[in-house]
Structure 1
């Protein structure tokens, strides 16, 4: 049994994590949240208190820390007595926070793959470039590290495992992420603009026919007729979970599809063609050195500010095809989330909600011991059923269409 949680980060996802940890603090124990700017943490805690989110009376404290400083993070873990660290800071800090957990013995959970700020869209093996290099050390020290435990990656990995467990052989996994909501702004990104744009400016990698296939962003599109949100256009995109799922299901084709509207694609294309999405510094006529990508980030709306006006729903799920008893089978395992409902509950929009709720479910399973693996795991390497059970209870219920999209629709455990 592990108790006491330290949340790293103070953005929109961290806000969701804070509320959900508070709603389950009878299981998780004392709560702490830290970022470079303590005032942001204080504001999140004030929101938790205003919503009356704490299930039982208990500690929820704020702290200032530079998450790029592993020694400082380790000191904070010791000072707080945290046995579980939920990292929802920038993906640039994954390795320093993980190192702090290795030093202190705290369990580590994150929601996205590590990124080097000097590199854009690195080639596979993505996890193999960073996190998986620490896998043997986690096992040697008995430290639990659960990688990519948000929604995608995270829940979609569990969906793939859930479907695969019902098949003799998996032939393809297509992850489809559609946000059919509207924030009402001319242009904005649903999470950190810097991370968002970095994700889509390089080569798109998918795992097909037993190897990596390369495409350009927006080169391959497909219409998907999904529950609730209807028919939406999605494009083949590179994503974290493609790598881990390809490693665990190497005989299956693994693809990630993300929905984009024509307006987003137009603005993105103009910004990219003008060089405004570059991470390389340039000098202005006045001699100031600036990074174009960081300038774009500075002028765009803070993703957290979108929440009050966001309407509509998301639909994210896995189309999994395979063979059972010699016959072809297909399942669509999915969730539908509502932006307005997310805002009313925790003050965040639906994209942050779908990323933040699962990592708390993972923390609860580490606390109970069910996912306290004492080594490094990706989500599909863990039993998905207790995870989906908790998600049903805390805000992200799972449904399944038997026979694939448009098939018989039912609860995953029906």
Structure 2
């Protein structure tokens, strides 16, 4: 049984994770939060205390300054804190350094997004094979639990895919992951998480898994409109995304696509920024000889995603539209969650996008602490038991529902005693 948690990253998702770990600190033990900017860590800790979130009020909750790109520094902090579970919520460039530190110390590793090389955009699929999966053998050899992509998407949607494949269908023809944020932050233009990572997703090729092979499209080239639970009719665009790269390899499904909702205003601003070169990750030289990376400059002038939370209203709807056959008949189901920005802010001081990413990561940490997901190897979420994960999230604020044949209000939960008996 593992205890003591180190959270790396003090942005909006890190704040959610700190609150949720605090709410379960009798099980999880000491909570440490680390970032390059220790002031952000201290602000998160203040937020936890203001909300009275610590289940055990005398529990340890400490801040640390850390350069997560420095494997040796991460290793020293793990050893200093005694953390046996590391929740990596830093930007996507630090995954491999944090993972390596966990391998060296024996700590369990969790992240919510795929590793990215700062010098490359949209590498050749499957992306996990370029970085994380190269450490699979050493994790298995050393008994290191490493759970990749355990936010919402990737993460919860991976569990939804496994649920559909194993419980609702005999054969699955397609999985369409649909991510809609129908909320409003009131700003002229902003991104809901790290702008640098957000834009990098959309400036390269759009990879999707179609007819059991990779297909490339341009961003905003293909769209669809769906009438979804709670948020109504929404338009989403075919987008490349992390979970496609593991689901395509781990599930026998010929078509797996990811769709993200964008408003016309977002698309217009994004298009202008891209067309004039401000979304480039390559440095440019100014007249005074100083070098600047345009994408980093754009990040610097846009609102901090964590700052959007106080004024955010509306809801998100994220789920999997799955089509296939059961008992010889065609079947279609939509497995989904709806989250509320206002409710998220009231509970943890973050907006709904951060909430949907942070809660699953802590649910996974709890399952590791309990031993249920302490698998002592590297896995993606679809390879793990989804029943306890979905049940736990139902209790922690992210409920899972099923729509079929126009009926929406079917809460998905499992009798784990029956599953254990079988």
Normalised by the size of structure 2, how large is the TM-score?
0.96
Match of residue 419 from structure 2 = none
**Alignment partners' CA distance in 1, 2:295 and 2:352:** 25
Match of residue 402 from structure 1 = 404
Output aligned runs, 1:252-291, within 5 Å: 252-291=254-293
- The CA deviation at 1:330 is 1.8
Match of 1:230 among 229, 232, 247: 232
**Alignment partners' CA distance in 1, 2:359 and 2:294:** 33
Match of residue 24 from structure 2 = 24
Give CA-to-partner distance per residue, 1:162-196, whole Å, 9 cap, x none.
11111221111100000000000000000000000
**Alignment partners' CA distance in 2, 1:254 and 1:243:** 10
Match of residue 350 from structure 1 = 352
Output aligned runs, 1:2-81, within 5 Å: 2-56=2-56, 57-81=58-82
Partner SS for 1:293 = helix
1:140 aligned to 2:178? no
1:195 aligned to 2:197? yes
Match of residue 322 from structure 1 = 324
Match of residue 177 from structure 1 = 179
Q: Which runs of 5+ in 1 are unaligned?
A: none
Match of residue 114 from structure 1 = 115
Normalised by the size of structure 1, how large is the TM-score?
0.98
**Alignment partners' CA distance in 1, 2:290 and 2:174:** 50
Match of residue 303 from structure 2 = 301
Give CA-to-partner distance per residue, 1:214-240, whole Å, 9 cap, x none.
100000000011000000000000000
**Alignment partners' CA distance in 1, 2:196 and 2:43:** 23
**Alignment partners' CA distance in 2, 1:388 and 1:274:** 44
Partner SS for 2:197 = helix
Match of residue 379 from structure 2 = 377
The question of whether the paired residues in 2 share the 8 Å contact of 1:402 and 1:409 is answered with: no
**Alignment partners' CA distance in 2, 1:173 and 1:359:** 23
- The CA deviation at 1:408 is 5.0
**Alignment partners' CA distance in 1, 2:138 and 2:306:** 36
**Alignment partners' CA distance in 2, 1:251 and 1:33:** 39
Match of residue 249 from structure 1 = 251
When structure 1 is superposed on structure 2, of 312-321 and 323-332 the one drifting more is 323-332
- The CA deviation at 1:123 is 1.9
Match of residue 93 from structure 2 = 92
Match of residue 241 from structure 2 = 239
Give CA-to-partner distance per residue, 1:94-133, whole Å, 9 cap, x none.
0000000000000000000000011112120100000000
The question of whether the paired residues in 2 share the 8 Å contact of 1:218 and 1:236 is answered with: yes
The question of whether the paired residues in 1 share the 8 Å contact of 2:401 and 2:408 is answered with: no
Partner SS for 1:240 = coil
How many equivalent pairs are there? Answer: 412
**Alignment partners' CA distance in 2, 1:12 and 1:294:** 19
Partner SS for 1:396 = coil
- The CA deviation at 1:6 is 0.3
Match of residue 337 from structure 1 = 339
Runs of 4+ in 1 over 6 A off after TM superposition: none
1:292 aligned to 2:294? yes
- The CA deviation at 1:327 is 1.8
**Alignment partners' CA distance in 1, 2:326 and 2:372:** 29
The question of whether the paired residues in 2 share the 8 Å contact of 1:170 and 1:249 is answered with: no
